[in-house]
Amino acid sequence: MNRAAEKQEVAQGISNCRQIITAVYAYASDHRGGPDGLSDRQKTSSSSNQAFKMLFAEGILENELIFGCPQSPYQPDGKIGTAPHFVDALKAGENHWMFTPHLSDSPGSSVPFVYENAAVATWNPKWNADAKRRPLPGRTWTKGIIIGMHDKSVALEKLAATEGTEVPLKAMSDNGNTLFTQHGDKFEVLDVER
């Protein structure tokens, strides 16, 4: 596939990520007044699928297609079920996006919030650069992965290497910190249901 096609797919992924963040903030403004309202209500969530499902139960979303991304093995089927439980929404294999729960305004706006599923789903996630643009868990784009931040900005971020099955983000400066490690290791990651 050519660069123009990949650029269009990345733009679609960025748009989906931005829409998810907007929906989480809409939920939070109705329930707690901060961007972490979804995660506070979902303290027992074991996956991003479960956390995001609340967006359907609360009437914020009626379509699950934004939870997909081009070239991902995890694609929603468009079926969400009926209120109040929406049991068909975001089943295993239907959500591409990981999530950092329990954020507040104190860590600052530079905390990764919603981001592409990783090969290693822990704080300071790692992606499979060997699976560029192939529908495999933790796959990357040619130039990186999509990350949505706590401040609602979304961008394609570079990885530390172009090859490897467990590649972290590229360091932001000489101190070696990435967007994830600059805040320490006190954050949780809600992985996708595979």
Cis peptide before 84 (omega within 30 of 0): yes
Q: Please, is 131 exposed, middle or buried when counting C-beta atoms within 10 Å of its C-beta (0-12, 13-18, 19+)?
A: middle
Kindly list the domain boundaries of the chain, sorted by start residue: 3-183
Summarised one tens digit per residue, pLDDT across range 54-68 is 999 999 999 999 999
What integer pLDDT is reported at residue 191 of this predicted model?
A: 97
* Residue 14 pLDDT > 60: yes
- The span from the CA of 50 to the CA of 25, in Å, is 17
What integer pLDDT is reported at residue 183 of this predicted model?
A: 86
- The span from the CA of 178 to the CA of 36, in Å, is 22
**Which has the minimum average pLDDT: 2-11, 29-38, 165-174?**
29-38
